[in-house]
Structure 1
Amino acid sequence: MKGNEQCAVFRHMRDGTEQDWAIIGGEIGPFAKGLPGRLLDHLQLLDGDFGGFPVDRLTHSLQTATLAHQDGQDEEYVVCALLHDIGDTLGSYNHADVAAVLLEPFVSGENHWMIQHHGIFQGYYFFHHMGMDRNLRDRYRDVPELFKRTAHFCEKYDAAAFDPDAETLPLEFFEPMVRRVFAEPKRTLYKAAFEKIGRVSFRTTLRGNGRENFTRAQEDSDLGLLLLTLQTAHG
């Protein structure tokens, strides 16, 4: 026990019991619901961080999302635009990968790929000034639709979002979008594995060449441990 909090008692995972994991499972849901707030808090760490750019990183993020929104992109895309550089603080050498990992459970495969690769695609506009190959993005021309999508994101929104005089919507405008997009994951290994109440329905999603079929599971004990069945059918 830590204060009034009930905790599992194992010292090694192999010794964990159903009761231990029911306790842990009971904490997952409430904690996960706080993810949008934690993302918004972390995004605000970019405020005042210019890194030599014409605008600070928060303004750049907001301006990227503003441009996407004003151009008629859907809510999920706009949230991707907002969070595309959230990895700058902890991923100084791979910021695009950090953002993509955070977004992956909640967005389409196309949007995930776009954010994961935007760091290379944006290099078209400046790599040559740093002794690098600006055409590094050409290695991905064998996936033309993803190439076109990511190049468009960088040209129209990311690379264009460094104007201190441009209209930039505040973070409060985008907050409801973030909360909706991150309300429920589309795919994750742990989805609803430890929810305590009721009946849970899982979405069917397509990913790569496989289909993830998440079946319904009912509460099967007074501890509230739900069984999650993951079936993968290829073809």
Structure 2
Amino acid sequence: MQFHRMDDMTPTDFEVLREVHEENLHKLPALLLSMLDLLGGDEAYPVDRRAHSLQAATRALRDGRDEEYVVVALLHDISETLGPLNHGDVIAAILKPFISESNYWMLEHHPLFQTYFYGTQVGVDPNGRDQFRDSPYFDQTAEFCALYDEVSFDPDYVNESIEVFVPMVHRVLNKAWSPPSS
């Protein structure tokens, strides 16, 4: 590769970069699952956040949710270490190319919707989510928080193992790379 500026790239240079991006896409499931592992060992909750994530995904799976939804439930909090002030935005942005608009919106807004359950204890309006009542995804997000996020801190709940979810993550994130476009 000889270019110093992108407008000097040749088609051959671009093909090399395409291969790099394809390899990055291939590695993405393992990278995201390793971020899930970073949530293990947290003692601030009744179960660590890795177990919380497994529990949310297990509940969604056992409720018959589709595979994409289950993967979203599994990964919904993995960016808390990378973006502790905006983890919903971070994971939504990462998964946006792979998931539906409704699941993207749910991921992006779940932290605010979750305050419905604890807002009064920390001085936050528990009804802050009401500003989004007109969204077609409001009910889905409220339901996700009530059925899978809020309740998934139960130390007695028996989770599925991570091995159950790994193939699902790979299938949901299976997409060819393409250059950015409008």
TM-score interval (norm. to shorter): over 0.9
2:14 counterpart letter in structure 1: W
Deviations 1:37-78 (A, max 9, x none): 11112211111123x111101000000001111111111000
Find the counterpart in structure 2 of residue 79 from structure 1. Answer: 71
**Unaligned residue ranges in structure 1 (runs of 5+):** 1-7, 194-227
2:24 counterpart letter in structure 1: F
**Unaligned residue ranges in structure 2 (runs of 5+):** none
Find the counterpart in structure 2 of residue 21 from structure 1. Answer: 14
1:116 paired with 2:125, answer no
Do the aligned partners of 2:35 and 2:79 also contact (CA within 8 Å) in 1?
no
| Greater per-residue strand proportion | 1
- Between the aligned residues of both structures, percent identity stands at 46
Alignment of 1:55-204 (within 5 A): 55-143=47-135, 145-184=136-175, 191=178, 193=179
RMSD of equivalent CA atoms: 1.7
Do the aligned partners of 1:47 and 1:56 also contact (CA within 8 Å) in 2?
yes
Aligned length: 182
Q: Please give the secondary structure, in 2, of the residue aligned with 1:152.
A: helix
Q: How much does 1:157 deviate?
A: 0.6
CA distance in 2, matches of 1:151, 1:42: 25
2:4 pairs with one of 6, 11, 28: 11
1:43 pairs with one of 30, 36, 55: 36
CA distance in 2, matches of 1:122, 1:73: 20
TM-score, length of structure 1 as denominator length? 0.73
2:162 counterpart letter in structure 1: L
2:167 counterpart letter in structure 1: P
Structure with the greater alpha carbon radius of gyration: 1
Deviations 1:92-117 (A, max 9, x none): 10011111111111011011101110
CA distance in 2, matches of 1:122, 1:31: 32
Large movers: runs of 4+ above 6 Å: none
TM-score, length of structure 2 as denominator length? 0.94
1:113 counterpart letter in structure 2: W
